[in-house]
């Protein structure tokens, strides 16, 4: 099987499982909106993830993709598998030790962190946030195990166990959240937090059989002197620095949001989830699938293949996400009504959530592209460049938030994220071109212009069609479902016809990707 076909098959599998996971994720958010609405209680739940996520991403999330996977993959591709397992064992033991220390400290100092994070919360909501944070703090240890396992399996180009794990994770959150929900008791939202912990455990357990079949070798060692361990440490330093500094924008976002009307952080969070939907289903799936192949090309000095594979991934992501971005902008009201407007979530909440969604949607394609570009640097075993660019983008994001939050409120917080993503993508592309001499930039630019043109035509047709349908059928639940489905179908047909008429090769490639996946399925 060719490298391109391998990437396409892996990306197709990941897209389908990510789609299933995201559907469950939105079911989870929809049920939470039904039980608790857009209130201080849901603000507390969303805020409770900040400290656990900080700990996880500080030591595990970014380090896995930027340092561990490239080094471990290099040992595999060069036939030094046994040595690779010794390096992996040292990494696992060190990470779990450091995580345990951080989690214990975080449990002790949670109240102080929450007061710093959301000073605008009421005393009751701060206390609830502390409770939920302490429950979720168990999650980083479990996610570390599942993340490392995923990294090892991905190095062998095995993707399905971790993909299944994400589905089980969301299913667990739904089950526990629904079973323990008591809308008149704010503390009962902790059922969703308990589901997060159980889901993280399931995410790890489901991957163990595949890991054992691959010849799991574990050693109870921390070999500081091994060159592979030292290489991971050197590559990890800038990532740890980056994720530490990156929390500044998270703190600023929640701090500013806590001073807006109650429920504002929930509106931003729900719209951010919609913003991340195409990024997670398509861009992240393609990025994860292409990363082992990029590592292989870099390890074997196949630079032409490296550039062509990278270009294909970027162009496919642009081709898929630009029309979704336009479609989400013009259909944002029926989309939010269908997903969230029921129970305690009111039409007023729908309008409030549509504001940040509009500004988030502008940056979907840029956010999607930067799922791939840093991985190109990681495959080159250069972690400093994307970190420096990330810090510049983070500082820009913070500046944009302060400038925009007053005139645009929640929309300003969202628009700042989109503008920072655009800046990040532009700077990474520029530096990659300098590094590789060529990144197939002309084809990327041509794809962007053609896709934007087709998306613009599609967006106008869908907007006029949606307005006309809404005037006929209204804004009820069934009516919104009809408008959303009709608009999506109309948009897909117009976009497909326009891109096919322009002879875009990405149309055939994307169509082929899904056809192969479904034929195999």
pLDDT in tens, 274-326: 998 889 888 888 887 888 888 888 888 888 989 998 999 999 999 999 999 99
Neighbours of 147 (CB within 10 A): 24
Give the integer Cα–Cα distance in Å for 230 and 251: 32
Rounded to the nearest 10 degrees, the angle between the axes of helix 332-340 and helix 477-501 is 140
Distances (CA, A) of 377 to 293, 310, 314, 435: 13, 11, 14, 9
Record the tokens describing residue 375, joined without a space. Answer: 């991985």
267 found inside a domain: no
Give the integer Cα–Cα distance in Å for 513 and 182: 44
18 found inside a domain: no
Neighbours of 442 (CB within 10 A): 10
pLDDT value of residue 246: 73
- 283, 269, 416: which is closest to 339 by C-alpha? 269
Task: Tell me if 384 sits within 8 A of 238, measured CB to CB.
Answer: yes
340 found inside a domain: no
Sign of torsion, CA 69 70 74 77?
A: positive
125 found inside a domain: yes
Give the integer Cα–Cα distance in Å for 24 and 165: 12
pLDDT value of residue 3: 53
Give the integer Cα–Cα distance in Å for 396 and 401: 9
Residues of the chain with pLDDT under 50: 1, 517-521
Task: Tell me if 376 sits within 8 A of 438, measured CB to CB.
Answer: no
Give the integer Cα–Cα distance in Å for 512 and 518: 10
Task: Tell me if 76 sits within 8 A of 84, measured CB to CB.
Answer: yes
220 found inside a domain: yes
Task: Tell me if 214 sits within 8 A of 153, measured CB to CB.
Answer: yes
Residue written as tokens 């990144």? 439
Record the tokens describing residue 500, joined without a space. Answer: 């096919």
pLDDT value of residue 22: 76
Task: Tell me if 326 sits within 8 A of 456, measured CB to CB.
Answer: yes
394 found inside a domain: no
Record the tokens describing residue 507, joined without a space. Answer: 């149309």
Give the integer Cα–Cα distance in Å for 479 and 482: 5
Distances (CA, A) of 370 to 313, 422, 481: 11, 9, 32
Neighbours of 469 (CB within 10 A): 18
Distances (CA, A) of 294 to 205, 309, 375, 420, 440: 28, 7, 8, 26, 15
Neighbours of 452 (CB within 10 A): 16
Give the integer Cα–Cα distance in Å for 276 and 200: 20
- Give the number of domains in the chain: 1
Task: Tell me if 370 sits within 8 A of 424, measured CB to CB.
Answer: yes
Neighbours of 478 (CB within 10 A): 10
- In what helix (H) or strand (E) does residue 398 lie, and over which residues does it extend? helix 384-408
Residues 6+ apart with CB under 8 A from 486: 465, 466, 469
Task: Tell me if 77 sits within 8 A of 296, measured CB to CB.
Answer: yes
Task: Tell me if 330 sits within 8 A of 396, measured CB to CB.
Answer: no
> DSSP secondary structure string, 419-468?
HHHHHHHHHHHHHHHHHHS---HHHHHHHHHHHHHHHHHHHHHHHHHHHH
Task: Tell me if 281 sits within 8 A of 24, measured CB to CB.
Answer: no
Give the integer Cα–Cα distance in Å for 420 and 438: 25
**What pTM, to 2 d.p., does this model score?**
0.76
pLDDT value of residue 13: 65
Task: Tell me if 486 sits within 8 A of 334, measured CB to CB.
Answer: no
Q: What's the DSSP call for residue 189?
A: G
Give the integer Cα–Cα distance in Å for 372 and 66: 12
**Domain interval for residue 254:** 23-30+49-259
Sign of torsion, CA 321 322 325 326?
A: negative
Rounded to the nearest 10 degrees, the angle between the axes of helix 384-408 and helix 227-258 is 0
Neighbours of 89 (CB within 10 A): 18
């Amino acid at each position: 099987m060719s490298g391109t076909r391998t990437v396409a098959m892996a990306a197709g599998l990941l897209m389908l499982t990510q789609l299933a996971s995201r559907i469950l994720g939105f079911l989870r958010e929809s049920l939470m909106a039904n039980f608790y609405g857009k209130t201080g209680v849901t603000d507390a739940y969303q805020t409770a993830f900040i400290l656990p996520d900080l700990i996880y991403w500080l030591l595990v999330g970014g380090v896995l993709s930027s340092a561990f996977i490239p080094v471990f993959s290099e040992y595999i591709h060069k036939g030094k598998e046994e040595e690779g397992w010794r390096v992996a064992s040292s990494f696992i033991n060190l990470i779990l030790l450091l995580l345990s220390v951080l989690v214990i400290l975080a449990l002790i100092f949670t109240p102080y962190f929450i007061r710093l994070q959301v000073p605008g919360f009421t005393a009751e909501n701060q206390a609830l946030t502390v409770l939920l944070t302490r429950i979720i703090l168990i999650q980083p240890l479990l996610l570390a195990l599942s993340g490392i396992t995923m990294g090892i399996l991905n190095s062998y180009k095995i993707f399905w166990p971790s993909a299944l794990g994400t589905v089980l994770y969301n299913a667990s959150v739904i089950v526990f959240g629904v079973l323990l929900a008591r809308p008149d008791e704010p503390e009962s939202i902790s059922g969703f937090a308990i589901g997060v912990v159980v889901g993280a455990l399931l995410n790890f357990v489901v991957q163990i059989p595949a890991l054992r079949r691959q010849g799991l070798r574990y050693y109870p060692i921390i070999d500081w002197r091994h060159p592979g361990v030292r290489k991971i440490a050197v590559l990890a330093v800038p990532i740890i620095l980056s994720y530490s500094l990156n929390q500044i924008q998270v703190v600023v976002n929640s701090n500013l949001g806590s001073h807006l009307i109650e429920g504002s952080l929930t509106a931003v969070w729900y719209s951010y989830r919609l913003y991340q939907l195409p990024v997670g289903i398509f861009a992240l799936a393609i990025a994860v699938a292409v990363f082992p192949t990029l590592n292989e090309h870099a390890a074997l000095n196949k630079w032409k293949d490296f550039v062509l594979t990278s270009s294909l991934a970027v162009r496919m992501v642009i081709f898929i996400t630009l029309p979704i971005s336009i479609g989400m902008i013009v259909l944002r009201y029926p989309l939010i009504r269908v997903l969230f407007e029921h129970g305690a979530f009111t039409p007023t909440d729908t309008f409030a959530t549509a504001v940040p969604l509009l500004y988030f949607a502008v940056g979907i394609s840029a956010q999607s592209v930067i799922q791939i570009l840093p991985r190109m640097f990681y495959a080159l075993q250069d972690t400093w460049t994307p970190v420096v660019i990330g810090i510049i983008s983070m500082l820009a994001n913070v500046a944009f938030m302060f400038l925009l939050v007053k005139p645009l409120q929640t929309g300003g917080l969202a628009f700042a994220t989109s503008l920072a993503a655009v800046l990040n993508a532009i700077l990474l592309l520029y530096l990659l071109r300098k590094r590789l001499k060529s990144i197939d930039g002309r084809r990327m630019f041509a794809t962007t212009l053609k896709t934007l043109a087709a998306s613009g035509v599609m967006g106008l047709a869908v907007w006029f069609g949606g307005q006309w349908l809404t005037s006929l059928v209204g804004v009820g639940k069934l009516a919104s479902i009809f408008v959303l489905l009709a608009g999506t179908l109309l948009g897909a047909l117009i976009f497909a016809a326009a891109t096919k008429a322009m002879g875009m090769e990405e149309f055939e490639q994307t169509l082929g990707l899904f056809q192969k996946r479904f034929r195999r399925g």
